[in-house]
Chains A and B, each alone.
Chain A
Amino acid sequence: MTLPTANPARPISRKRPFFQRVVKPWLFLLPILLLNVLVILAPSLSAVYYAFTDWTGLGDARWIGLENFRRLFTDEIFWQAFLNNLIWCGLFLTVPIAMALLGANAMAHVRRGQVFFRIVYFIPYVMASVVVAAVWRNILNPSIGIGVQLANLGLPWADIKFLGDTRTALYSVAFVDNWHWWGYLLVLYLAAMQSVDRSLYESARLEGANRWQEFVHVTLPGIRPTLVFTLLITVIFSFLAFDYINILTGGGPANASEVLSTLIYKAAFRRFEAGYAAAIGLTTSLICMIFGTIFVTLRRRGMEI
C-alpha cells in the first residue's frame, strides 16, 4: 500500500490564476511600500527640492538654483567637516575591523566560555549612546578623568584634555564610538568564521601552514562576503556619524570634530537654513551612493562579495 504524498509537486506559476501570481504578492507588499513612500521616499524627494531653495524650515521656500551648492563648495567648515568624515571613515575602516578580526580569530579557537566573551564584547553595542557617552565623558573629563589621574600618578604627559583639545577631540570621540562598535563586528566575524569549512584548515595544517597563514589564506577568504559587507556599511555609517559627536563635543571645539551630519543639524536647527542643510544632506547621500554603487557593480561583475 502506498501512502498518498502530501501536496505532490504542482506546476506553480503557469497554472496559478493571475490574482495568485501577481496581485496577491503586491497586496502584501503594498502596505510597506506605501509606508516607505510616506516616510522615506517623499521626504527624500522633498529634501532634494529644498536643497535648491532658501527654505528656513518655516513658511514657503524660494527656488535659488545651485546657490546652496556654490556656497557649500566655498564653505571652509563644510570642507573641514568633510575631511573629518574621511578621517573618521579611515579610522573605522582600520581600527575596529582589525580589532574585531583579531578578536574573532582568537575567540574562534576558544572552546569554553566563548558565549561569555561574546556577550561581554557585544554589550557596549546594545547600550544607549547617551549612556555610553556619559560614561566616557566622565572618564575623559579634564578635572577628574583619566588624564589628570595619570598625571597625579607621575605621568604629566598624560594630562590631555581629550575632548577639549582641537588635536584630540575627533580621535577621542572616534575612540568612544569604536569602543561600542567593534564588539558588534567581532560577533559578525565570529559567526562568519564558524561557517568556514573546517576541512580547509586541516588541509592548510597538513601543508604546514602556521596560524597567521591559516588566517590569511583560509579565514579571510572564507569570510570575504561578511568582511566586504562590513566595509561597505562602515563607509556609509562613517558619513552618517552623529550621536556620539553631538553628545560629546557638539562638533567642537572650533569645529575640530565637526562632521557633515552635525553641520546639517546646526544649519537646519540653529541657523534656520534648512535649504542649505538639505544641500549638505544631498551631497552626503551622493557620496554614500557612490560607495554603494561601487559595491553593487563589483558584485555584478562577479566578485564574491
Chain B
Amino acid sequence: MKVSKLLSIAFAAAVVTGACAAPSAAPNAVAPQATQSSSATTSDTPAPAASGEKVKVIWWTETAVEDYQDKLTENFVKTFNDAHPNIELEMKFVDKLDEVLRTAVQAGAGPDIIQTPGPAFVAEYIAAGHIAPLDDYAKKFGWDSTIFPWAVEAGKLDGKLYSLPLTYETVVMWYNKKTLADNGWQVPTTRAELEKIAEEAKAKKLFPFVNGNAGWRGVNEWMVTLWWANYAGNDTVYKALKQETKWDDPLLVESITLLNDYMQKGYFRGSKESYFATDFPEVDADLASGKGVFDFSGTWAFQYKSSQFPDHPEDWEWALMPSLRDGVKQSFPLSVGSTLSINSKARNTDAVAEVLAWVYGDAKRAAKIIHDYPGEWLVPIDLKKDDFPADTDARFIRILEAMSAASKSGDYGYTTWTFWPQKSDQFIVEQMDNVFIGKLTPAEFSSKLQEIYAAEAKANQLPPIPAR
C-alpha cells in the first residue's frame, strides 16, 4: 500500500474518530459563554473522597457587570471556599442563564445548583425530576426560621420544599427629587394626587411616567402587578390567586381599565407608540434629566442608580405606588426574583446544601453582598440596619427594612412573575399590548386570563400561595 493511501486512510479515520467522539463532548455544546474559565459540569464533580480531594460544586448564576462579578466572587465564593477546605465552589456567570440551563440540565450536564428566575420556573424542573427535595436540609440548617416564611412557601410543591429564594424584589415608584421640587409637586399617595401631577406634567411637555417596554415586554406585568395591587387591592388579588374569585372580577377588570386609561391619556411617555418603542437607557436618562417624573420599576434598579445619576446621586428617591382607590392601602407587591435548588444529579448534595446554607447563614455577609451588588442578591432574611456596612445608601436600607416589615406582617402584594403560573404570566406580558392598542378590551383580557389560569389550575400547575 502506498504511503499516500495510508495517509488518506489515517486522516479519514482520525476525522471519523473525532466525529464519533462528539456525543461525549455534547455537554460542552450547550455550555454557557461563561466569563470565567472551566467548563466542568455535574458529571465532572469528583466524589467526596476518601482520597482527600476537594468536592467541587458548580453554580451557574446570572451574568453581571465585571465589577459586580468580582465582588460576588470575593464576598461569597472566596469566603465559602476559605471556610470549607473540603469543598470547592465554582461560580460561573452565564448570559441567558435560563435558556442555557434548561438545555444543559435536560442533557444531563447542568451545574449542581439550579438557579431559575422565579418559582414558576421551578415547577417544570420538579416535574421532570431534575430537582432534589430540600426538606431535610431545611431542618438541618433552620431555613424555615431564617428565611421569610412566604418566600420559603413559594418554593414548595405538594408540601415539599424544592427551591429557596435567592433574592426578593418589589416594584416601587422611582422619582427625581429635583423634578418634583422644581415643579412644586409632593410625592403623591392617592390617585387624585397622581393624576393631578400627571396632567400638569403633560401640560409642561414632561412625561408623567417614563416607562417603555421595548427593552423588555415584561414591563407590562410590572404595571399590571402595581395596578391590581393598588386598585383592586391585595386581598382581591389573593382571592383570585386562590380561585375564590375570578380574574374577571369587576375590581380586577377596573384595574386594567384604569391602567389602559392612563396609557390612552398619554401618561406613559406621551403615547402608547412611544411606550412600545422606548428602551431602558432612555427611561433612565429621562428620569435623571427631569424630562419625566415617575418610573415604576423594581428594586433591581438599585444597581443602576449610581450610573443613572452620576452628578447628583442625592436626587433619586423611591416611594410606594399611590393608592388608586379609596380604602386600598399602598403596599409592596413582593416577589422571589431568583430561586436556588439542588440538581438531582449532583453527586454530593450535602456539599451543595452547604453552599446554599452559606447564602442565608450570616446576616452581615448577606448585607455586605447587598451593599456591593445592590439589587440582585436581596436575600429574604431579616436584615437590620447594623448588619450593613456603614456607607450603605440609606435609601436602600430603608426599602429593605420596609420589605422586611411587610414580609413579617404579611401585609404585602403579589407579583405576577412569582405567584402566577407560567402560561398565565406570559399571557399578561404578551397580551397587555393588545389592550393598549384596543384589540382586546380589559374585560376580554381578564376573561381570557381566567380561562388560562383555570386550565393551569386544573393541570395542578399553580405555584403555592402563602396564606394571608
| Chain B residues within an 8 Å CB radius of A163 | 214, 276-277
| Chain A residues within an 8 Å CB radius of B436 | 253-254
Contact of A252 among B12, B271, B274, B433 (CB under 8 A): B433
- A261-285: CB near B (< 8 Å → 1, else 0) gives 0000010011110000000000000
A59-B429 Cα distance, complex, nearest whole Å: 26
- Contact (A58, B130) CB under 8 Å given A27-B8, A27-B9: yes
Shortest A255–chain B CB gap in Å is: 7
Shortest A209–chain B CB gap in Å is: 49
A59-B124 Cα distance, complex, nearest whole Å: 8
- Contact (A141, B433) CB under 8 Å given A27-B8, A58-B130, A269-B99: no
Q: How many residues of B contact A (CB 8 A)?
A: 47
A38 engages B286 (CB within 8 Å): no
Contact of A58 among B13, B15, B102, B272 (CB under 8 A): B102
The secondary structure that dominates the A interface is: loop
Shortest B270–chain A CB gap in Å is: 9
A142 engages B217 (CB within 8 Å): no
Q: Which of B404-448 contact A (CB under 8 A)?
A: 422-423, 426, 429-430, 433-434, 436-437, 439
B8 engages A24 (CB within 8 Å): yes
- Contact (A142, B278) CB under 8 Å given A27-B12, A249-B214: yes
* B320 close to A (CB within 8 Å): no
* A35 close to B (CB within 8 Å): yes
A164 engages B124 (CB within 8 Å): no
| Chain A residues within an 8 Å CB radius of B217 | 250, 252
Q: How many A-B residue pairs have CB under 8 A?
A: 120
A142 engages B437 (CB within 8 Å): no
A271 engages B426 (CB within 8 Å): yes
| Chain B residues within an 8 Å CB radius of A57 | 102, 106, 124
B22 engages A38 (CB within 8 Å): yes
| Chain A residues within an 8 Å CB radius of B279 | 137
Contact of B282 among A24, A27, A58, A141 (CB under 8 A): A141
| Chain A residues within an 8 Å CB radius of B423 | 271
A58 engages B125 (CB within 8 Å): yes
A10-B368 Cα distance, complex, nearest whole Å: 81
* A28 close to B (CB within 8 Å): yes
* A143 close to B (CB within 8 Å): yes
* B127 close to A (CB within 8 Å): yes
* B52 close to A (CB within 8 Å): no
A60 engages B128 (CB within 8 Å): yes
* B16 close to A (CB within 8 Å): yes
> What residue in chain A is nearest B99 (Cβ atoms)?
A269
Shortest B33–chain A CB gap in Å is: 14
* B46 close to A (CB within 8 Å): no
Contact of A59 among B129, B213, B433 (CB under 8 A): B129
B275 engages A31 (CB within 8 Å): no
| Chain B residues within an 8 Å CB radius of A58 | 102, 105-106, 124-125, 127-128, 130
Contact of B15 among A31, A162, A270 (CB under 8 A): A31
> What residue in chain A is nearest B29 (Cβ atoms)?
A39
Q: Which of B181-222 contact A (CB under 8 A)?
A: 213-214, 217
- B15-51: CB near A (< 8 Å → 1, else 0) gives 1101110110000000000000000000000000000
A270-B430 Cα distance, complex, nearest whole Å: 10
| Chain B residues within an 8 Å CB radius of A270 | 426, 429
- Contact (A272, B124) CB under 8 Å given A143-B282, A253-B437: yes
* B273 close to A (CB within 8 Å): yes
A31 engages B16 (CB within 8 Å): yes
Shortest B405–chain A CB gap in Å is: 34
| Chain B residues within an 8 Å CB radius of A143 | 274, 278, 282, 286
Shortest A86–chain B CB gap in Å is: 20
- Contact (A255, B430) CB under 8 Å given A34-B19, A143-B278, A164-B272: yes
A164 engages B278 (CB within 8 Å): yes
- A125-144: CB near B (< 8 Å → 1, else 0) gives 00000000000010011111
- A236-254: CB near B (< 8 Å → 1, else 0) gives 0000000000000110111
| Chain A residues within an 8 Å CB radius of B102 | 57-58, 269
A79-B152 Cα distance, complex, nearest whole Å: 42
| Chain B residues within an 8 Å CB radius of A230 | none
With a 10 A CB-CB cut-off, give which of B15, B105, B130, B430 has the most chain A CB atoms.
Answer: B430
Contact of B437 among A27, A166, A272 (CB under 8 A): A166
A161-B274 Cα distance, complex, nearest whole Å: 6
> What residue in chain B is nearest A169 (Cβ atoms)?
B276
A56-B105 Cα distance, complex, nearest whole Å: 13
B276 engages A252 (CB within 8 Å): yes
Contact of B12 among A28, A162, A249, A253 (CB under 8 A): A28
Shortest A44–chain B CB gap in Å is: 16
- Contact (A164, B125) CB under 8 Å given A58-B130, A255-B433, A271-B423: no
A253-B430 Cα distance, complex, nearest whole Å: 9
With a 10 A CB-CB cut-off, give which of B106, B277, B426, B436 has the most chain A CB atoms.
Answer: B277
Shortest A299–chain B CB gap in Å is: 32
Q: Which of B123-139 contact A (CB under 8 A)?
A: 124-125, 127-130
> What residue in chain B is nearest A33 (Cβ atoms)?
B19
B426 engages A164 (CB within 8 Å): no
Q: Which of A51-94 contact B (CB under 8 A)?
A: 56-60
Sorted nearest first, the 9 A-B pairs with minimum C-beta distance are A59-B128, A164-B277, A161-B273, A164-B276, A253-B276, A31-B15, A254-B433, A27-B12, A164-B273
Mark B residues whose CB is within 8 Å of A.
Answer: 8-9, 12-13, 15-16, 18-20, 22-23, 98-99, 102, 105-106, 124-125, 127-130, 213-214, 217, 269, 271-279, 282, 286, 422-423, 426, 429-430, 433-434, 436-437, 439
18 interchain pairs (CB within 8 A)?
A30-B12, A31-B18, A142-B269, A143-B274, A143-B278, A164-B214, A164-B271, A164-B277, A169-B276, A250-B214, A250-B217, A253-B272, A253-B436, A253-B437, A254-B433, A269-B102, A271-B423, A272-B124
- A-B contacts besides A34-B16, A143-B286, A165-B276, 19 pairs, CB < 8 Å: A28-B8, A31-B18, A34-B19, A59-B124, A60-B128, A143-B274, A143-B282, A144-B282, A161-B271, A164-B274, A164-B275, A164-B277, A249-B214, A253-B273, A253-B276, A255-B434, A270-B429, A271-B423, A272-B422
